[in-house]
Amino acid sequence: MEPSSRNTQLPSFSSAFGSLVPPEQNHSMNKQSDSFFIPSYLKGSIYAQKLGEARNKKNSAQNDCHSAPTSQSSSRSTNKNSANAQTKLAPSHRGMTYDLIEKIPCSENERVPPLPSGWSSDDKQPALEVLSDGFELKLSGQKSDREREHESCAARADYPMPSQGGIYYFEVTILARKKEESSLGIGFSSKKVPLTRLPGWEPESWAYHGDDGNSYSSQITGRTYGPPFGASDTIGCGINFRASTAFFTKNGVDLGVAFREVKGKLYPSVGMKKPGEHIRVNFGQSPFIFDIDGMMKVSLISLMLILNSITSQENPGHIYNHDLAKIPSLIVPFRFIISWRRIFYSYP
């Protein structure tokens, strides 16, 4: 937007804060500030620590932004007489009265990708209503002629799932669903996937469908996976970015690996077809039905056993490839630094 006045206060989407989140995500900064949360399974990780630090920096920058005009106005008032006594600037300098209060942006490496905080109000089909602070979606009864031509209505979350945490998990509860046969798909997709079909049917989209219980991996043909689901069911979806796999849960029960070789910048996504269908998502703002924290603890124990087995070999400085091959398959957000005699590990 072109500057039409000399207002010194920066908008919330100023580049002073853009260094803390990717530029294309600035539209949701105010929402994230009001609903900041970290899922329980990520607490204690380095990623969560960096996420908190980034939020503190953003809040500090906002406070500095709001306080800067007042302090500068006071300073100008105090020095008014002395300023008037000075010789006027040359005509070529007139008009340069802007007060630069933006901070120098941080380096690109300091950007921390935010967590999904709700359904996007922009990245969805118009017939879908975003309710309850962005956590609920409902397919309205009224559809335009153009929307009636589409097979379904889909939506994506406001932010992609961050791979820095090692694993990302969310749950969707079906609040209402038509009794007649319908199709509801829960999964994830890239930004380029059309929102006019259920996730899983298009390239770069993966989903678990409720009408047949099949899993769909970027194609119209599904694979037998789990039981169908409907009203009052809670479906969980998790991605293990270390192993490039995805799994689903139903009402707290793990259904096993659904997809492999999952890659890319992926957003939680849901699609529905019949008017009145209504879902609520849990991105970690409340406790999960599935014990994802317990899964993380079990994986950590398995990891420690593998590491102890490796380091207890006759030659601890020699790490065998077949031993290291076991590590990526674990659903644990850890990184490894291998030294001559010891393997150090920590949250990413």
* pLDDT level of residue 36 (50, 70, 90 thresholds): confident
* 163, pLDDT greater than 80: yes
**What is residue 328's predicted lDDT score, i.e. its pLDDT?**
47
- Please state the rounded mean pLDDT for residues 71-91: 48
pLDDT tier at 181 (50, 70, 90 boundaries)? low
At residue 12, does pLDDT exceed 70?
no
Those residues whose C-beta lies under 8 Å from the C-beta of residue 143, and which sit 6 or more positions away, are: 127, 275
pLDDT tens digits, 121-149: 999 999 999 999 999 999 987 655 555 55
Please give the Cα distance from 236 to 276 (Å, whole number). Answer: 22
pLDDT score of 66 more than 70:
no
Chain-wide mean pLDDT for the chain? 75
User: Which residues have CB under 8 Å from 163's CB, separation 6+?
Assistant: 241
User: pLDDT tens, 209-231?
Assistant: 999 999 999 999 999 999 999 99
Residue 250 has pLDDT above 80, yes or no: yes
Ranges 64-78, 237-251, 280-294: which has the least confidence: 64-78
Q: Is residue 167's pLDDT more than 80?
A: yes
Contacts of 149 (CB under 8 A, 6+ apart): none
Rg value, the chain, Cα: 25
Q: How far apart are CA 116 and CA 87, in angstroms?
A: 56
For residue 142, report the phi and psi dihedrals to the nearest 5 degrees.
Answer: -100, 130
Hey, what are 168's tokens? 């990302």
Domains of the chain: 15-79+94-110 (no CATH), 119-290 (2.60.120.920), 294-346 (no CATH)
Phi then psi dihedrals of residue 96, to 5 deg: -90, 70
Residue 279 has pLDDT above 90, yes or no: yes
Is the per-residue pLDDT at 65 higher than 50?
yes
Q: What is the 3-state secondary structure (H, E, C) of the chain?
A: CCCCCCCCCCCCCCHHHHCCCCHHHHHHHHHHHHCCCCCHHHCCCHHHHHHHHHHHHHHHHHHHHHHHHHHHHHHHHHCHHHHHHCCCCCHHHCCCCCCCCCCCCCCHHHCCCCCCCCEEEEEECCCEEEEHHHCEEEECCCCCHHHHCCCCEEEEECCCCCHHHCEEEEEEEEEECCCCCCCEEEEEECCCCCCCCCCCCCCCEEEEECCCCEEEECCCCCEECCCCCCCCCEEEEEEECCCCEEEEEECCEEEEEEEECCCCCCEEEEEECCCCCEEEEECCCCCCCCCHHHHHHHHHHHHHHHHHHHHCCCCCCCCCHHHHCCCCCCCCCCEEEECCCCEEEECC
pLDDT bracket for residue 256 (50, 70, 90):
very high
